[in-house]
Amino acid sequence: MPTGASPASDSAFNGIDAFPDGTLVVRSLNRPVGCTLNGYSAAAYKCPGAPDSAKPSIIGTVDSKTFKVLSWTQLKGNVLGRVTTGRHQGHDYAYTTTPTQIFRYVWDGHTIKQDTTWGPVTYAKPGQTQAGAPVITGDWVVFSTNGTASKVPLSVVAIHQGSSKRITRLSWSTTHPDCVAEAGGGAARHTRAWSVGAPVVVAGCRWLRFVPLTCQMQGSATFPAPRRRDRERAPLRE
């Protein structure tokens, strides 16, 4: 696989998706040049300056029968979250989240390239860390920030596939003082999404949060505030 600006020894491909025609979509995940640590944690936070200090990722398409690389392009930053594909109004798209922005790429059956008619959208607020993989929920692209630990509360962000100017954000007002981590999910056939606080092994983090969030994506696409009982903390077992 091509690795673009990053040396092959510092790149890995740890997640794939596919378009309806069977074409595989991949993206590289890089560790900073000079770091010798291995694994996802090295690329995400253990290497000095990771993930932002690493060379930008690439996105590529691969024939699922021959495994021949069909097309690839350099991304705008190092991408932690997996690439997500979706079809909207007859076009095949791939969404990627760089450290502060989300981009859309279009596949025409031959070449994958940035869709300059959509975004990029800056999603991160000061102190928030890179988002994980987005999910497609109806006409919306939904994801949450803080893919790695942060002292700033996470946000759940929804952006309309038809117009990147249609953005809805739900931000938590408080967080545990030492850490917060997240994961996201959604249901493509239902206008719902959810965010789950996950346990992380970092100093001072001793809480497990499970915050189900229902997002009605129709009409104004507003997010209801989390219920008090959904925000309750439960001690994380040692």
Instruction: Encode pLDDT of 114-168 as tens digits.
Output: 999 999 999 999 999 899 899 998 899 999 888 888 888 888 899 999 999 999 8
Cis peptide before 20 (omega within 30 of 0): no
Euclidean distance between CA atoms 168 and 185, whole angstroms: 16
- 8 phi and psi angles, rounded to 5 deg: -60, -30
My answer on whether 139 and 233 are in the same domain is yes
pLDDT of residue 5: 95
Structural domain total, the chain: 2
My answer on whether 44 and 137 are in the same domain is no
| For residue 79, pLDDT beyond 50 | yes
Domain that includes residue 184, residue range: 129-238
Picking from 122, 144, 160, the residue at the C-terminal end of a domain is 122
- 114 phi and psi angles, rounded to 5 deg: -65, 135
pLDDT of residue 52: 87
Average pLDDT value for residue range 202-229: 39
Contact call for residues 78 and 52 (beta carbons, < 8 A): yes
Cis peptide before 120 (omega within 30 of 0): yes
pLDDT of residue 202: 32
Percentage with pLDDT > 70 across the chain: 72
My answer on whether 118 and 188 are in the same domain is no
pLDDT of residue 174: 55
Q: Which tokens belong to 113?
A: 């390239």
Contact call for residues 43 and 30 (beta carbons, < 8 A): yes
